Chains A and B, each alone.
Chain A
Amino acid sequence: MTTVTEREQRTLRIAGIGILLYLTLFFGAKLIKGASSLRAAYDQQVRAAQTLRSEVQTYEVRALRLQRLMERLQLEPGKVATNSIIAQTSAALQQAAVAGGLQIGSIRESVARSSERELGTIQLDATGLPVSIMNFLARLEHLGFPVIVDAVQLSSEPRGPGMLKAHFSLIILDFEQWKPRKAPHA
């Protein structure tokens, strides 16, 4: 068996240390590079989370405003069914008019073009005292349906003293036409 001299042992030792150093530097650099990229990705994720959180926090005010508007208008847009809203609105209008002491005349409904934000219009003729008409106008805002009064025409009613003849033109809005806003991070 060949014996290794002390000089050769020293050479082998130095070579081993050199190889070990090279491997340490080579793989160490790769490891550090990978760890740095991992850390950078993590930092980016943290920043994205902080931005998102701050944006979500701003919506607390908006949610409060929405709650107040829903209470004021007594209207919850999510519960409005598009296919039957005109019928429901018409029924609610007639019920409110009769409850307010108005005599209902002719009612005309029409469906609007789908490209617009309006779902349709209702034209209503009624007769009654000025107080009843004003009360009816006030109640239209809290009817529970997305209704905007487009025009009102009042004229004297010759059939009785103090009576007015009123013509209401109402627009029913289509909630489906309000497209949801795209989130920037989605």
Chain B
Amino acid sequence: MSFLDPLKTPTLLTELRAGSLHLFNGNSGEDLVITTDAEGRPDAASQARVREALLRLAPRKPWQSRGTLWCALPARGVSFRTVKIPDSARDGLRLLLTLQIEAQFPVPPESLVWGWCEPSKSSASLTRADGLREIQVAALKKELVEDYAALFSSCGFNPVFTIAALLRSGPNVRAVNSSAVLEVGARGSEFLARQESMPSLVRILPWGGEQISAALVRDFDMTPTEAEHTCVRLIQADSFTTERRTALMASVVATVAPLVQSIQRLWSGPELLVVGDTPAALLAARVLEESLRPTVIMQRIELDRAPGQTFAVRGIWEATKDSSDEVPLRLELTPTASSFGSRRTLPEVSWKWVTSVAGLLAALLLFPYAEALVGRPLLARRLANLQKDYDRLGEIDRRLEFLQYIADNQPPYLDASFVIANAAPPGARIESLSLNRRGEISLSGFAQMPQQIVDFRTKLVESGFFSQVVVEEQSPVQPNQPRSLMRITAQWKGHAERQALMLGPTLPEKANTNSVASDKEAATNSSPTESEPSFSNPAAKN
């Protein structure tokens, strides 16, 4: 048992006979008597019995969708026609068949319940030499079934009709190309002939098993009960004396003779299957075996049939078990407002898909929460690792700030010395030079001429390195001599402004140094670098 079983829709198998309805749900069954009114419709009492039986055998839960009710119909009113359609017409098969039915049946397709079947794939006659395909169409008037269709539909079932005669033969007979099935009933018999595995003829024969009992009553002055007992005893081997048995069987043979003649008129095939559930059917089968030689008579007689389990019902059961659908022919009943009222048949719900969709929706809704539940410990671990890294980043900041402070606060003593040395006038002597981190420069010395001090100051200012240059003192060393004493203070510019200056010696271009001497000179001039600038010794210049 699957957990989906409560969701499955109920399925019921029935066979409708003249005067009875047989129901089976797979486990238990019932045989109901059906009485009809003057128009052949089931009367109110029969309808009530059917409803109650359906509720008993296939109760439908409120959450379940409409069930399926397979109903095998009697052969009354059923006609078979063989229609030929082009083999390529696969997609528009139904439309083509409708046109063929309109041409071959006296009643329009809208007034018919019809279905079709094709030969099995293994059959050689699937496609003829002329490229046409033969399809067997069965049809009957809609009014014969629409009352039952409405009744079943009102009980919550989607009815599916088929023909009982097609389902009575077991698998042994269905494999034979040409065969026939005779179902011996109490008041009538149904005869179905097959040609090349396809149903070709169906007839209701006016002969039933009750005629044997009636003959025994008439010929041997028995009561009906005694006649029935006699039928039962006749099928047993040593129940009568030879004379008595011969007399009784002569009466039986004479009674079965019309049936034999009817079958001989209809059919002359190699095999005939006799189906029935009464002793009279068994007696008829024995008489037919003697009368129809060389036709092989097979018997499928069950005297102790379980309620509801007719041969047709069991045929549907075999064809539909394990969710397969091998019913040989299914009659389609187009619902109309007049026949079904306002109630429409609903399609069956595939609970497998419903469950899948519900599962996917649930997964969609629950995924964010499941992600939080599962991913939170992992995320916490990763967050802790990131936090550990982040704590180390503080140390990077600390070291970076420390080294940046050192780099930014290294005074440009070499640059300042370079600028002063380049600006110093020839012949000048610098006695002292003082520089500090705040950019204050103080120098003192001598110049050969007063004008040189002015030029010296001008060069210092034009170098762009200093923001202010002050000549604090300029005085002649001795009266009437040009040599002058000088004391100059200066302040270098800020770091950003100094960065824009191009300090240091420029390298000569190679194109201008085409001689060895000039190369050597250039090499000598270009030796100082920014990191190690040449410092013009003020004292050496003097």
Known contacts A73-B403, A77-B403, A173-B402; is-contact A152 B394 (Cβ 8 Å)? no
CA distance A63 to B413 in the complex (A): 29
CA distance A131 to B534 in the complex (A): 7
Q: Does A10 make an interface contact (CB < 8 A)?
A: no
**Which residue from chain A places its CB closest to the CB of B530 in the assembled complex?**
A138
Known contacts A134-B417, A151-B434, A151-B437; is-contact A39 B368 (Cβ 8 Å)? yes
- The residues of B that contact A141 with a CB separation of less than 8 Å are 410
**Which residue from chain B places its CB closest to the CB of A68 in the assembled complex?**
B403
CA distance A186 to B396 in the complex (A): 16
B353-393 contacts to A, CB under 8 A, are: 368-369, 371-373, 375-376, 379-380, 382-383, 386-387, 389-391, 393
**Which residue from chain A places its CB closest to the CB of B371 in the assembled complex?**
A42
CA distance A41 to B399 in the complex (A): 36
Q: Does B532 make an interface contact (CB < 8 A)?
A: yes
CA distance A16 to B397 in the complex (A): 68
**Which residue from chain A places its CB closest to the CB of B400 in the assembled complex?**
A66
CA distance A153 to B368 in the complex (A): 73
Quick check: B369 and A178 within 8 Å, CB to CB?
no
User: How far is the CB of A99 from the nearest CB of chain B, in Å?
Assistant: 14
**Which residue from chain A places its CB closest to the CB of B529 in the assembled complex?**
A138
User: How far is the CB of B437 from the nearest CB of chain A, in Å?
Assistant: 5
**Which residue from chain B places its CB closest to the CB of A80 in the assembled complex?**
B402
Q: Does B243 make an interface contact (CB < 8 A)?
A: no
- The residues of A that contact B296 with a CB separation of less than 8 Å are none
Q: Beta-carbon contacts of A145-164 to B below 8 Å, as 1s and 0s? A: 01011111111100001101
Q: Does A30 make an interface contact (CB < 8 A)?
A: no
Q: Does B476 make an interface contact (CB < 8 A)?
A: no
Q: Beta-carbon contacts of B423-448 to A below 8 Å, as 1s and 0s? A: 00000001111111100000000000
Quick check: B436 and A155 within 8 Å, CB to CB?
no
Interface centre among A135, A141, A151 (most CB of B within 10 A): A151
Quick check: A148 and B387 within 8 Å, CB to CB?
no
CA distance A35 to B372 in the complex (A): 9
Known contacts A38-B373, A153-B434, A155-B431; is-contact A66 B399 (Cβ 8 Å)? yes
Residue total for B at the interface (Cβ-Cβ under 8 A)? 54
Q: Which of A35, A149, A152, A180 contacts B410, CB < 8 Å?
A: A149
Quick check: A178 and B398 within 8 Å, CB to CB?
yes
Quick check: B395 and A180 within 8 Å, CB to CB?
yes
- The residues of B that contact A62 with a CB separation of less than 8 Å are 393, 396-397, 400
Q: Does B303 make an interface contact (CB < 8 A)?
A: no
Quick check: B413 and A41 within 8 Å, CB to CB?
no
Q: Does A181 make an interface contact (CB < 8 A)?
A: yes
Interface centre among A49, A72, A134, A186 (most CB of B within 10 A): A134
**Which residue from chain A places its CB closest to the CB of B380 in the assembled complex?**
A45
Known contacts A39-B372, A63-B396, A134-B417; is-contact A77 B436 (Cβ 8 Å)? no
Q: Does A7 make an interface contact (CB < 8 A)?
A: no
Quick check: B393 and A59 within 8 Å, CB to CB?
yes
Q: Which of A55, A56, A146 contacts B402, CB < 8 Å?
A: A146
Quick check: B533 and A134 within 8 Å, CB to CB?
yes
Quick check: B387 and A186 within 8 Å, CB to CB?
yes
Q: Which of B386, B406, B531 contacts A146, CB < 8 Å?
A: B406
CA distance A72 to B404 in the complex (A): 11
Quick check: B406 and A70 within 8 Å, CB to CB?
no
Q: Which of B403, B406, B417 contacts A148, CB < 8 Å?
A: B406
Quick check: A173 and B434 within 8 Å, CB to CB?
no
**9 A–B contacts, CB within 8 A, in A order:** A39-B368, A56-B389, A149-B413, A151-B434, A153-B434, A154-B433, A164-B539, A182-B394, A183-B387
B residues adjacent to A (C-beta < 8 A): 368-369, 371-373, 375-376, 379-380, 382-383, 386-387, 389-391, 393-407, 409-411, 413-414, 417, 430-437, 531-537, 539-540
